[in-house]
């Protein structure tokens, strides 16, 4: 299958070990740097060199815009950095700048994303290719600065493409690809690039950073079709739309989304050609012959890979499916990848309050996907809500989930449709 790519670590390294400096590395493909997830994203933004960035600081995203501010202050980018007074104005300014035909980026977290919410809908409906990094963080209340996915999941129906990143490296790679995805003429949709707040936003890791020129060649130049700065051909953006046309305009957004999977894969293929790192709609880890499988987003997938390897060492056929793309949701591909598995556990780092069994949004999507695309096959599937407000999830907890799955796969009853993993009841 074209879209089910393994994450192949076959990288070309055209240079020796690094002192981290870009000096004297002309002509080399990449370099290694010790970066945390925020710095990695800021580095990608420096290389992309957007025309306008409008952002407001919020923990744990803050460092990304701080680092980028320094790039602006040092003249390393051509960007106009609009230091807005709120996230609401950040997204509003992004819409203005995007309508002006600029390449536009921003970053946020949690309440910041919630505060943008009204305007994220407008950004998508205006078909503005804004790219935004979201360092995932819990929503109030009570106030909490640590990771869960309730912010992005709350914004899942806003009309943005959503990419989740496991590591600083993936956050860097996704930011670069997001520009091409957003600006693709078939799409023209804003893209959100997620990473786990603190867990990867603040975790220093070895990140392969490509040459500036290579990144600039990859993202290319952006030629907008329309601009509110075109005074010779004045256009009206954001008019009043009654029932006569509103529905058709929403339908056009759906039409754009119908191209999204192809565009994401096309951009990923080119990224792989140039930088030799494989991305698809999802990553299947030791899944081909797996009996039981976990579905987990972002950094938790990294922890789960360790557990999978350990279980495999014990002869347990454990596997993992990590969705990279949550919007558009790759329903058919997810079901196909899991159709041979005897039991599936979906890991949700947020709750959809009041939904079926108070499950998480990823589980609900998966359940719907299996109902529609499963050809009648009913793979037992359970949901584990975990890690809310930054509660740690370790290998032993993930292992316990696999043990539950083995019992279910063995014909055991499904004890709970939804389990709140690691909570004091």
Partner 1 sequence: MATQTSTPTRLTLRDLSKKSDRLTSGHRMCPGCAAPLVVKQVLMAIDEPVVVTCATGCLEVATTIFPQTAWNVPFIHNAFENSASTASGIEAAYRSLVRQGKIEDNNTRFVAFGGDGGTYDIGLQALSGAMERGHRMLYVCYDNNAYMNTGIQRSSATPLGANTTTSPAGKVVPGKRGMRKDLTAIMAAHNIPYVAQASPHNWRDLMQKVRKATAVDGPAFMNVLSSCNRGWRHDADETIEMQRLAVDTCMWPLYEVEDGEWRVTYKPKEKLPVTEYLKPQGRFRHLFQPGNQHLIDELQQEVDTRWERLLKLAGES
| Residue ranges in contact with partner 1 by CB under 8 A | 51-52, 54, 78-80, 82-86, 88-89, 92-102, 104, 118-119, 122, 227-232, 234-242, 244-245
Residue with tokens 């309730």: 150
Phi, psi of 16 (to 5 degrees): -80, -170
| DSSP-assigned letter for residue 123 | H
Nearer to partner 1, 214 or 228 (CB): 228
Residues in the chain: 425
Nearer to partner 1, 98 or 319 (CB): 98
Distance, CA of 174 to CA of 163 (rounded, Å) = 7
Q: How far is the CB of 226 from partner 1 (least distance, A)?
A: 10
Q: How far is the CB of 275 from partner 1 (least distance, A)?
A: 26
Gap between the terminal Cα atoms of the chain: 43
Q: How far is the CB of 424 from partner 1 (least distance, A)?
A: 40
Nearer to partner 1, 237 or 420 (CB): 237
Distance, CA of 294 to CA of 345 (rounded, Å) = 5
CB of 290 closer than 8 Å to CB of 382: no
CB of 40 closer than 8 Å to CB of 168: yes
User: What tokens does 303 get?
Assistant: 């922890």
Q: How far is the CB of 52 from partner 1 (least distance, A)?
A: 5
Residue with tokens 């019992």: 407
Q: How far is the CB of 123 from partner 1 (least distance, A)?
A: 9
Distance, CA of 180 to CA of 221 (rounded, Å) = 10
> With 0-12 CB in 10 A as exposed, 13-18 as middle and 19+ as buried, what is 98?
buried
Q: How far is the CB of 234 from partner 1 (least distance, A)?
A: 5
Nearer to partner 1, 49 or 144 (CB): 49
CB of 52 closer than 8 Å to CB of 80: yes
Nearer to partner 1, 30 or 125 (CB): 125
Sequence-ordered list of residues with C-beta below 8 angstroms from that of 165, at least 6 positions apart, any chain:
37, 171, 173, 174, 193, 194, 195, 200, 298, 324
Nearer to partner 1, 17 or 234 (CB): 234
Q: How far is the CB of 283 from partner 1 (least distance, A)?
A: 36
Nearer to partner 1, 242 or 353 (CB): 242
Sequence-ordered list of residues with C-beta below 8 angstroms from that of 10, at least 6 positions apart, any chain:
276
Nearer to partner 1, 19 or 241 (CB): 241
Q: How far is the CB of 75 from partner 1 (least distance, A)?
A: 12
């Amino acid at each position: 299958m074209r879209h089910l790519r393994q994450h192949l670590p076959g990288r070309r390294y055209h240079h020796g070990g690094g002192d981290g400096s870009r000096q004297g590395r002309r002509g080399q493909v990449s370099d290694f740097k010790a970066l945390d997830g925020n710095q990695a994203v800021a580095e990608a933004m420096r290389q992309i060199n957007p025309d306008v960035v409008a952002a407001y600081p919020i923990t744990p995203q803050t460092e990304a815009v701080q680092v980028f501010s320094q790039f602006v202050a040092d003249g390393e980018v051509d960007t106009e950095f609009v230091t807005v007074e709120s996230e609401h104005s950040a997204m509003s300014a992004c819409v203005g700048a995007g309508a002006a035909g600029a390449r536009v980026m921003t970053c946020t977290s949690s309440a910041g994303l919630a505060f943008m919410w009204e305007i994220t809908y407008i950004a998508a409906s205006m078909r503005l290719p804004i790219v935004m990094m979201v360092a995932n963080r819990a929503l109030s209340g009570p106030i909490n600065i640590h990771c869960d996915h309730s912010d992005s999941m709350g914004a899942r129906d806003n009309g943005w493409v959503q990419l989740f990143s496991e590591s600083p490296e993936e956050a860097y790679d996704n930011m670069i690809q997001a520009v091409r995805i957003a600006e693709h003429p078939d799409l023209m949709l804003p893209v959100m690039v997620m990473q786990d707040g603190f867990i990867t936003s603040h975790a220093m890791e070895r990140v392969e950073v490509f040459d500036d020129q290579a990144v600039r060649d990859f993202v290319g130049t952006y030629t907008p079709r329309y601009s509110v700065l075109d005074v010779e051909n004045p256009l009206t953006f954001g008019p009043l739309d009654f029932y006569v046309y509103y529905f058709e305009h929403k339908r056009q957004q759906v039409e754009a989304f119908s191209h999204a999977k192809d565009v994401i894969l096309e951009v990923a293929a080119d990224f792989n050609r140039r930088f030799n790192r494989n991305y698809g709609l999802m990553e299947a880890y030791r899944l081909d012959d797996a009996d039981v499988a976990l579905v987990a987003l972002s950094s938790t997938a990294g922890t789960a890979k360790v557990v999978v390897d350990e279980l495999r060492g014990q002869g347990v056929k454990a596997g993992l499916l990590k969705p990279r793309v949550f919007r558009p949701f790759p329903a058919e591909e997810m079901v196909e990848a899991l159709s041979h598995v005897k039991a599936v556990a979906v890991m949700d780092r947020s709750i959809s309050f009041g939904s079926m069994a108070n499950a998480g949004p990823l589980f609900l999507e998966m359940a719907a996907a299996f109902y529609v695309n499963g050809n009648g096959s009913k793979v037992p599937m359970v949901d584990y809500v975990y890690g809310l407000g930054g509660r740690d999830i370790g290998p032993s907890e993930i292992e316990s989930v696999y043990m539950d799955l083995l019992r279910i796969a063995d014909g055991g009853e499904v004890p709970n449709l939804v389990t709140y993993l690691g909570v004091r009841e």
